[in-house]
Structure 1
Amino acid sequence: MSTTKKKPIHISVDKDLKEQAEMLFNDLGLNMTSAITVFLKQAVKEQAIPFEIRKINSETLQAIKDVEDGNLQGGFSSVKELMEDLNA
């Protein structure tokens, strides 16, 4: 039996997020405490967040918005034309 003292962590999250996470963790055979403990142990082991976090730049955000809005400019008729545009 471990003699490590445990300290509670209190967090607030969106109700739907909590319910979805609980369902996922249950399917994985974990409870919320176990899942968070796994996350914390992995973060300490790696000395980093154990998954990639990145910020999308404004050009990428605009491109995504353009695609979603159907604002696509005409395509290219050849690879040469595409390359000339990319190099411009």
Structure 2
Amino acid sequence: MEQSTISIRIDSQLKKDFEEFCKNVGMNMTTAISIFATTVVKEQRIPFEISADPFYSEKNMARLRKSMREMEENGGTVHEVIHD
């Protein structure tokens, strides 16, 4: 089977964590990514659930736009956020 190379950019810490995971389960990153790609092609789907961050939902974006409009029209109050 002819081999090809894929070059990707990934966060450095994520790469280290992924390498460590792969090592712990007895494989390298190439094998893990090949397993992922093979499964995607075979099943014709991403083999795990992907969900959107609800912050970016259209309903929330509409609410944020409305709030911004109200603040621009009526002024607003600044609230200090206190972290424990």
Q: TM-score scaled to structure 2, two decimals?
A: 0.63
**Counterpart in the other structure of 1:20:** 17
Match of 2:45 among 43, 48, 54: 48
CA distance in 2, matches of 1:54, 1:43: 17
| 1:18 match: secondary structure | helix
* 1:16-59 Cα shifts (integer Å, max 9, x gaps): 0000000000000010100000000011111011100011434x
Mind listing any 5+ residue stretches in structure 1 that lack a counterpart? 63-68, 70-88
Residue type of the alignment partner of 1:35:
A
Alignment of 1:1-88 (within 5 A): 4-58=1-55
- Count matched residues: 58
Task: State the alpha-carbon separation in 1 of the partners of residues 42 and 3 from structure 2.
Answer: 19
Consecutive unaligned residues of structure 2, counting only runs of 5 or more, are 61-80
Q: Percent identity?
A: 39
Q: 2:15, 2:37 → 1: CA distance?
A: 18
Q: Deviation above 2 Å: which 4+ runs of structure 1?
A: none
**Distance (whole Å) between structure 1 residues aligned to residue 16 and residue 27 of structure 2:** 14
